[in-house]
Amino acid sequence: MTTAPPTTGAAPVAQALDLLAGRPLVALTGAGLSTDSGIPDYRGPNSPARSPMTIAEFRSGDDARRRYWARSHVGWARMRHASPNPGHIALAALERAGVLRSVITQNVDGLHGAAGSRDVVDLHGRIDEVVCLECGDVTGRDLLQARLLGLNPGFAEAAVAAETAPDGDAVLDETDGFVVAGCTGCGGVLKPHVVFFGENVPRTRVERSYALVEGLAGDGALLVAGSSLTVMSGLRFVKRAHALGVPVVILNRGTTRGDPLATLLVDAGCSETLTALAAAAGA
């Protein structure tokens, strides 16, 4: 069994609904799904160029970590108030209806869980958690935020005009003097519990995601929502689905790296399209 080449037409959303009807689904989601929640993405059609910090830079010394945590301190004060949008809510409804088996998300914002999705693979981790690089202790981001507020009174308020950036940080030029907090247990270096650029996705998450895709063989479909598939961490699952003959529907504004592997391309908004899919499924 092989997948059909990408299909275009006058009503691509309707075509997607027809192709997905009656099939068990797994969703692979990216930053484009969360833009309607006010969280900018890295590679959308209108997104400015971004230079996210790599893990090598983060580990390079105190200056880099001061810059990271100052930006994150300001950004988290905003991001923690983000709410699920209709796209997140539609996917949670599809799961409750038994149509959607699981969500594999490249996002770190936790909005799938907030919307009610239960079977979620957080491929790149969660920005609402912090891990110590020395002892491995994992704590809540809000606890660290309270400590940073005490160490840096007025810092976030003074940066009110700073632009919000993806992954829970903000665009700041001046971070000198920001005081970074260490692990309360061992005094070690704290890092957001997410996969930085240059880090590998934990093997258990990769294996779980492959298993979900492989479980679609025969009757299911993979729905990609809001991902440019630029990095291999997400694209590899599209490649696996294609190799297995599993239909792949890519819902995204603009082109993606996975377009040649798709059965159907839908250039439309995630919120409205996923809401229509949930309605069509009776979810």
Please check whether residues 120 and 135 belong to one and the same domain. no
Please check whether residues 92 and 213 belong to one and the same domain. yes
Please check whether residues 94 and 23 belong to one and the same domain. yes
CA distance linking residue 264 with residue 3, whole number of Å: 10
In a domain? residue 45: no
Please check whether residues 166 and 253 belong to one and the same domain. no
Q: Is the separation of the CB atoms in 135 and 187 below 8 Å?
A: no
Model pLDDT, residue 2: 41
- For residue 34, give the CATH number of its domain: 3.40.50.1220
222-238 per-position pLDDT tens digit: 999 999 999 999 999 99
Please check whether residues 149 and 237 belong to one and the same domain. no
- For residue 144, give the CATH number of its domain: 3.30.1600
Mean pLDDT of the chain: 89
Give the count of domains, the chain: 2
250-270 mean pLDDT: 95
In a domain? residue 132: yes
Please check whether residues 172 and 60 belong to one and the same domain. yes
Please check whether residues 30 and 132 belong to one and the same domain. no
pTM here is: 0.89
Active site residues: 124
End of a domain among 145, 174, 194? Answer: 194
CA distance linking residue 171 with residue 193, whole number of Å: 20
Cα 31-34-37 angle, rounded to 5 deg? 150
Please check whether residues 164 and 264 belong to one and the same domain. no
Q: How many CB atoms lie within 10 A of CB 116?
A: 14
Please check whether residues 64 and 168 belong to one and the same domain. yes
Tokens of 275: 């809401």
Please check whether residues 60 and 190 belong to one and the same domain. yes
Q: Which residue stretches of the chain are H helix?
A: 12-20, 55-58, 62-79, 86-96, 111-115, 141-151, 155-158, 203-214, 232-243, 270-280
* Domain, as residue range, for 25: 1-39+84-124+201-283
In a domain? residue 20: yes
End of a domain among 194, 215, 247? Answer: 194
CA distance linking residue 117 with residue 119, whole number of Å: 6
Q: Phi/psi zone of residue 136: left (φ > 0), alpha (ψ -120 to 50 degrees), beta?
A: left
Please check whether residues 189 and 131 belong to one and the same domain. yes
Three-state secondary structure of 159-221: CCCCEEEHHHEEECCCCCCCCCCCCCCCCCCEEEEECCECCCCCHHHHHHHHHHHHCCCCCCE
156-179 mean pLDDT: 68
Model pLDDT, residue 173: 64
98-129 per-position pLDDT tens digit: 999 999 999 999 999 999 999 999 999 999 99
End of a domain among 194, 222, 246? Answer: 194
In a domain? residue 44: no
184-242 per-position pLDDT tens digit: 999 999 999 999 989 999 999 999 999 999 999 999 999 999 999 999 999 999 999 99
Cα atoms in the Cβ-side hemisphere of radius 13 Å centred on 67: 14
